[in-house]
Amino acid sequence: MHFFRDANKKMEENKIANETIRIFFPLKIVSYPQYDCSEDEREDISPRDAVTYEDQILAAIAKENRHFENDRGLAEYIHDEALKEKVYSLYPSVEIVDGELWGVMTAGLREPLSGDETAELIDFVTGQNSDGYGEIFEQRPIKTPDGEIYVSFWNHENYSLTLEQKIKNNSPDLGYGGQVMG
């Protein structure tokens, strides 16, 4: 009988909470027309126009995510052990919000994060977007009917991170002293 009680307790401890944190950020998307062109001929794609490419971008993200060696995604690379224990998974994606395409990182949590832990997770996402996953992803061309596009999760000119409830409520304030800037 103790075996089953211990096994049930272990399963309960390893169960992933249904809670998630979703962190949104602007994307930088550039296109290169189908004909040969130089760096000077690239065109920036606005977040509204980028909606057209959502399916191709999601397919490219799914292809890139196959490289993860586990079911935790980017959470495997969190260095702080306490935060890593609470954040079970972390996956990048894109989503349309109010007619514009945004980048989003979804963190699956084992238990809720404190304000400091949330700020630490936001810092981690910033690093992944600028130097980690985002840097690798932005170097891979995505084919579209209009030519190749490149999607960057890091836009040094206009970069901020916003928690889901703030972006969905059209509120610019994060509750952490404003938007978190990279």
* pLDDT tens sequence across 87-135: 999 999 999 999 999 999 999 999 999 999 999 999 999 999 988 888 8
Number of domains present in the structure of the chain? 1
The whole-number pLDDT of residue 11 equals: 41
Q: What is the 3-state secondary structure (H, E, C) of 20-51?
A: EEEEEECCEEEEECCCCCCHHHCEEECHHHHH
Residue 98 lies in a domain: yes
User: Is the pLDDT at 49 greater than 90, yes or no?
Assistant: yes
Q: Which domain holds residue 125?
A: 16-169
Residue 155 lies in a domain: yes
Residue 2 lies in a domain: no
User: Is the pLDDT at 154 greater than 60, yes or no?
Assistant: yes
Least confidently predicted of 36-40, 73-77, 121-125, 178-182: 178-182
Residue 158 lies in a domain: yes
The whole-number pLDDT of residue 170 equals: 62
The whole-number pLDDT of residue 32 equals: 75
